[in-house]
Structures are given as structure tokens and as C-alpha cells.
A and B are shown apart, each in its own frame.
Chain A
Amino acid sequence: MRSGGGRAAKVLTPEQFDAVAGLVGADLAREDESAVAVAFGDFRVGMDELRETFGTITNGEAGGERG
């Protein structure tokens, strides 16, 4: 379920950058921006797939003995 499709992301939105800068300061936020953007992009892909899967799975019956 995890495709790693967020790998293309390299920059944060201004709001995201501000959130990171609020934690570590602007200099380190700039230094880490690319790595955080990639990690968050990967996380985002996983969460979007989770939202879809959860919606599907809760509409059906998961789990059961195979044989």
C-alpha cells in the first residue's frame, strides 16, 4: 500500500516552512527543507492511501479464517 510516490517533493509550502522554522530556526529549516519535504511527501502518500483503505475496509468485513 506504500508506493513512495511522494519522492518528487523537494520544497515545503510557506506555512510548512514556518512550522519547521518555529522548531529549529530558519537556518536549520533551510538546511533540512529538502529532506523534510521528501519525508513528509512519503508520509502524505501513506496517509492518503490509509484514508482510502480505511474507508473501503470499514465498509466490508475484514478478517476471517481461511480454512
Chain B
Amino acid sequence: MANVVEAWELGIAEAALMIRGGELSSVELVDSVVARVAETEDFARAWAHVDVAGARIAARKADLELKCGSRLSLLGIPLGVKDVIDVSGMPAEGGSAALRGRIATKDAGAVRRLRQNGAIILGKLETHEFAFGQGTPPTRNPWDPRRYAGGSSVGSGVAVAVGSVPGALGTDTGGSVRNPACVNGLVGLKPTLSLVSGSGVLNVSHTLDHIGPLARNVEDCAALLGGMAEESALPRLRGPAALGGSSGGPPVRLGVDRAMWKTWGVTQGVIDVVERALDRLAALGFHIVELSLPELEMALPASLAISLSESAHHHRRMLRENPSRYLSGTRVMIETGALITTADVDLAHAVRDYLRSSLERSFQRAGIEALLSPTLPAIAPMAAAMSHELTADTGENSLSAALRMLSTANLTGMPALSVPCGLSAGQPVGLHLMGLAFSDATILHIARSYEEASPWRDMVPLHQLPSRDQQVSRAAEPGS
């Protein structure tokens, strides 16, 4: 293993190649990752459940399959799964006391596909309760434990960042894959709607929920997408999901709407970092085109109408059985959803249809392949200053402000990705790329072109975690 000390430091594509080439066994990789879990969990608290015995059995089986000639794309690679996605035989509590003790009896569709492609499921990762973004899971931000660690796929982001797993699944209803990817210095993809099976998920909203991968680099993210996508949907991609060969090609036009960044309240520190990323893309031969897309502002209220009203439907039975076991913040969101009228939902669907067609027209008119923006309006807020409200505009340090920037992709079903593009005040900043439906491979290629020309791919995994002094000072803060 040239240039690395431990197997846990390897990315997915690199480790898979070494396993297939006989340079590394799956057992060695799983043992190294399990040791890293033990090394980091005291700080990170990213895992809700780790199945060490099951992972070792699966690793031995993968090594045997290799000897029998298997060349599956993810053979022997351990992965983590957000605890709103079912993994057969593992706890499936959705981060909620209301489901304490629930064990999944069947794999979610995306998990089934990953296993078919050779992956090993190491365990379940912490989530905000039922992926609503409310409350405070125990997971800590490894860049600064005083700060928000991302959400709601918080364990998925932190585990991949600290190296306790090379890749993970999250769910994204309004940005919950891309948000923790951004905050933790990772690549996170919300695939095109229907590209990945949505079965076996504790839904917030069956219309807006998407399962997506988080990884340390674009190549790994693409490998995960290729391994989890529905076989029947893959031909609709304009190219292979897994990246191979050169990312070169004819010059590509990319759109930006800087006026919208101001409307969204993006901070100057984040804008400065993103502008440098745009300069780098321009130097690579990409044409940056300024657009005006005021209709993007309609996405958040329409998304909330659909997601909250559907959440009341999904949670009705469980809420009636165990209402006091829900966090009050989650309960209030679902109760709010129960008050939304059919007329509001109809309007939201009309807005959804309009945005799909108007964005497609705008992309075609401008000849662009992707719309670029900052992923989040600011660096990770101090946890104590974070507002978790969904329905109120409460400034740059709020979940609502993040949803406002990210929910268009969920509402329209378009693919969107966050790739690290630098640091502001020592915290990661993400560049967000959104493409037309089934252009997932295209936006992955654009992101990889940028990543190859920038120094940010090596930001993770983080080898040094915050010191005990920093952890103690966090614990002493009010509300922590």
C-alpha cells in the first residue's frame, strides 16, 4: 500500500482496485476500519450501531468470492447507512425514542443493490430524529466541535470525514446529504429522482426524499452511485455513473445567478471562496454564464407544503401510538403538516411542474450543463446559535436558510452535488452543482475536473481530531 499508512485512509475506488488486484484483502480493510471506529467514536459519536461480527463474516466471504473470480465493483468495501434506511437484521430506530428496539427485517432497495455489488454494511449512522433536522444528535463536528455537524445525515458526514468508514448513505429531502457533505469537507450527491430505489426508508416525504452517497472524493461518490442505482435506471444516465478515464471533453458552459446568492444571504467569506472556484473552472476552459432565475425562490415554500403534508401522512399511525416519545420539534413540524390544505399542496405541485419546465428551458437557452452556487449560505454555525426552524426565515445560521438554497433539486428531482472548494475561517465551503434530470454523470465529471485541479480532495479523512480541551470547552457551553 504505497503512500498510505493504514487501510482506513483509502478511498473506495482505490481500495476496490487494490482488493481486486490482490494487494489488500477485505478482511484487512474491515479490520482497519473497525479499529478506526474504536479510535474515533469517543469523539465523533457518528455511529448508532456497528456490526463488527457481521462485517468480518462478510469480509471473509468477499475474499473468498474474489478467489472464485468475482470482480464486483464494490467487492469487500465497508459502508455505513443512515439510520432511516433499513438494513436487514440491524436496528432501525430513525434517531427516535419512538422506535427504540425496532429491527429491520428487510434491506432497503439501495442497500440491496450495494450488497449485490459486493459492498459490506458495517452499521447504522446517527441521524436527526426521522431526518427532520430537529434536536441535537450526539455526533460532533470534527473540524470544530463547537459547530453544527450538518444534518440530517449527520453521522454519515462525520464518519466519512474522520475515516471510520470510506463512504456512507444519507437521505436528502431538502439538502440532508449535501449539507453534511459541505460542512464536513466531503462530496455528497442527491441523485436524480428514481435513479436510486426509495424503498425501505422511514420517509419524511415520499415525493421529495432521495437516498444519496457521501464520500471523500468525486470518484468514490460516483462509484457509490454506480453501486446503488437501479439497474433499470442506469441506461438513462448520459454516461457511466462510475468515472473512468479522462474527464476531458469539449468546453462546457456553467450557469450562475449571483443575484440569487445575495437574496439567499450568502456571506462574503463563502462568496469569496466560491468565486475562486469559478475562476479555477474558467481557467480549465469552462464558460461561466450569468443567468437570472428568480423562480428559484418559489422552491422552499412549495417543498415545505409537500414535505410537511406528506410527513403527517407517513407518521400518523406512529404518532398516534407514541406521541410523547417524539422530540417536540419534530412533532410540531408534523402537526403543522396536518394543517396544510389540499389547495396548498396542489399549488406546490403546480410550482414543481413549472420549475421543472422553466429550468429545463433556461438550461437549454443558455446552453449550460449545470447551475453553480455555494452549497450553504455560511460556514457551519456555532451549534448554540443554530436555528432548527423550517418554516421561518431566521438568518444565515438556520436550517431554513440551507433549505432555501438546496430544496429546488428535491422539488424538481434534478441531480445536485456538493464538492469541497476551500476553507473560510478554517471551515469547509462547498460548491453546489445542479444539473438536468439524469445528468448525474455529467455533474460528477464537472466536479471531478474541478477537484483534480484544486487542492481540496486531500482535506479528508481528518487524521487529527479535536483535543480533549476543545471537547471539554464545548461541553461547558450553555445548551451543549
Contact = CB atoms under 8 A, between A and B. Distances in A.
A24 B319 contact: yes
A25 B292 contact: no
Contacts of A35: 328, 332
Contact of B344 (A3, A29, A47, A57): A47
Interface in A18-43: 19-20, 22-25, 28-29, 31-32, 35-36, 38-40, 42-43
B323 A57 contact: no
Contact of B295 (A25, A49, A57): A57
Interface residues of B, number: 50
Contacts of B298: 50, 53-54, 57
A7 interface: yes
Interface in B332-346: 332-336, 338-340, 344
A65 B366 contact: yes
B32 interface: no
Contact of B300 (A16, A46, A65, A67): A46
Per DSSP, are chain A's interface residues mostly helix, strand or loop, or mixed?
Answer: helix
A2 interface: yes
A38 B387 CA distance: 15
A36 B332 CA distance: 6
A7 B339 CA distance: 17
Given A2-B393, A24-B323, A47-B344, A65 B316 contact: no
B332 A16 contact: no
A49 B259 CA distance: 20
B405 interface: no
A43 B297 contact: no
Interface of A: 1-4, 7, 12, 16, 19-20, 22-25, 28-29, 31-32, 35-36, 38-40, 42-43, 46-47, 49-51, 53-54, 57-58, 62-67
20 contacts: A1-B297, A24-B319, A24-B323, A24-B331, A31-B328, A36-B339, A43-B305, A43-B391, A46-B300, A47-B301, A47-B344, A47-B347, A57-B354, A58-B354, A62-B293, A64-B291, A64-B365, A65-B365, A65-B366, A66-B290
